[in-house]
Each structure stands twice: as C-alpha cells, then as structure tokens.
C-alpha cells in the first residue's frame, strides 16, 4: 500500500479514493475476499467506502454468514484536534454491526470507542485505543484487529458479546 507522506495535506476525497483502490487491488482478483466496492454518498458527496466481503475468505476460516459489508468513513473536522472515523463490519443477515467510532460521541468513553449493535440496539460499547496515526494505518490496524474480534464473538441468550479484554 502507498501511504501519503504528509498527513496534513490529506483530504477526505483522496483518502476515500485510496481506500476504494485498496479494496480493489489488495490481492489478485481470484483470491480476493472483496466482491464489490462502492462509494457511499450523501447529498451527492462521497462520505465513505463500502465493500461487500466474502466473510469466510476474509477471516480465513468458516464463519456463520457468507457475506458481510465493511463500511469505512473518515472525516477531518477543522475544529477538532484529531481525525474522525467509523470502521464497521455489518452482517445484514444477523442484524449485527461490530466496529470502532473515533468521534465526539460518547466522550465518557474517550475519543474512540468500540461498539457492538444487534437488531438495531447497542448491546456493547467500550473504550477503545485512540489511534493518532495516518488514516490508512488506522484502517489497516482496525481491519487486522477485526479478524480477532470476530473470532472472539460469542452468543449468550441469543445476544452477541465480545470479551472486554479483546477490545482495543
């Protein structure tokens, strides 16, 4: 992957284009866990990248669902001291969302938090490590950790949970 040397010159449009390209070119097409990549837009503007993922191929093991969506957004608010992002794994079949949000919501948990939603309800939220590195490094670290998180996912009384020590 090519990284931008000067993070200060990074804008959302450039970053989203690089993420889109990353999903399309990370491995040879016949081996890729990525089925489809598209931009997510709002009012005609690109606000994120979404990739349909073959879950067992992405995770390198059998998994409860065949497909999921990886949703990534980044923002660089000029009035904030750090970048905002969401990196989420979404399984529509099980109505499950697992991911990280680095923004100004839930400040009681710090600048970044891990969140697990199930059937339109937040079932777990915890403080996560604040990553103040280049956004492409953040993306790589979070997606690498996502594999571990999904491996640790358990179900109790038909509700998902991740052990608190697995959240970073």
For 143-157, what is the mean pLDDT? Answer: 93
Share of the chain above pLDDT 70, in %: 91
Q: Which domain holds residue 88?
A: 7-166
For 85-94, what is the mean pLDDT? Answer: 96
Q: Per the domain annotation, does 1 fall within a domain? A: no
Count up the domains in the chain and report the number.
1
Q: Per the domain annotation, does 2 fall within a domain? A: no
Q: Per the domain annotation, does 17 fall within a domain? A: yes
Q: Per the domain annotation, does 36 fall within a domain? A: yes
When comparing pLDDT for 3 and 159, which is higher? 159
Q: Per the domain annotation, does 116 fall within a domain? A: yes
| Residue 5 pLDDT > 50 | no
Find, among 56, 69, 75, 76, the residue nearest to 97 by Cα. 69
| Residue 115 pLDDT > 80 | yes
For 137-156, what is the mean pLDDT? Answer: 93
Residues 6+ apart with CB under 8 A from 104: 80, 84, 111
| Residue 48 pLDDT > 80 | yes
Q: Per the domain annotation, does 63 fall within a domain? A: yes
Count CA within 13 A, CB hemisphere, residue 36: 7
Euclidean distance between CA atoms 65 and 103, whole angstroms: 29
Q: Per the domain annotation, does 57 fall within a domain? A: yes
Q: Per the domain annotation, does 51 fall within a domain? A: yes
């Amino acid at each position: 992957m090519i990284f931008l040397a000067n993070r200060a010159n990074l804008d959302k449009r450039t970053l989203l284009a690089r993420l889109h390209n990353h999903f399309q070119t990370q491995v040879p097409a016949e081996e890729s866990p990525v089925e489809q990549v598209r931009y997510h837009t709002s009012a005609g503007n690109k606000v994120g990248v979404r990739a349909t993922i073959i879950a067992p191929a992405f995770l390198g093991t059998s998994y409860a669902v065949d497909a999921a969506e990886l949703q990534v957004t980044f923002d660089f608010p000029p009035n904030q001291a750090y970048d905002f992002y969401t990196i989420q794994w979404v399984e529509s079949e099980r109505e499950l969302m697992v991911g990280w949000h680095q923004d100004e919501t839930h400040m009681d948990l710090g600048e970044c938090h891990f969140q697990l939603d199930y059937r339109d309800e937040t079932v777990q939220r915890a403080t996560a490590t604040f990553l103040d590195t280049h956004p492409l490094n953040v993306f790589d670290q979070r997606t690498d950790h996502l594999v571990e998180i999904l491996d640790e996912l358990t179900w109790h009384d038909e509700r998902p949970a991740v052990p608190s020590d697995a959240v970073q």
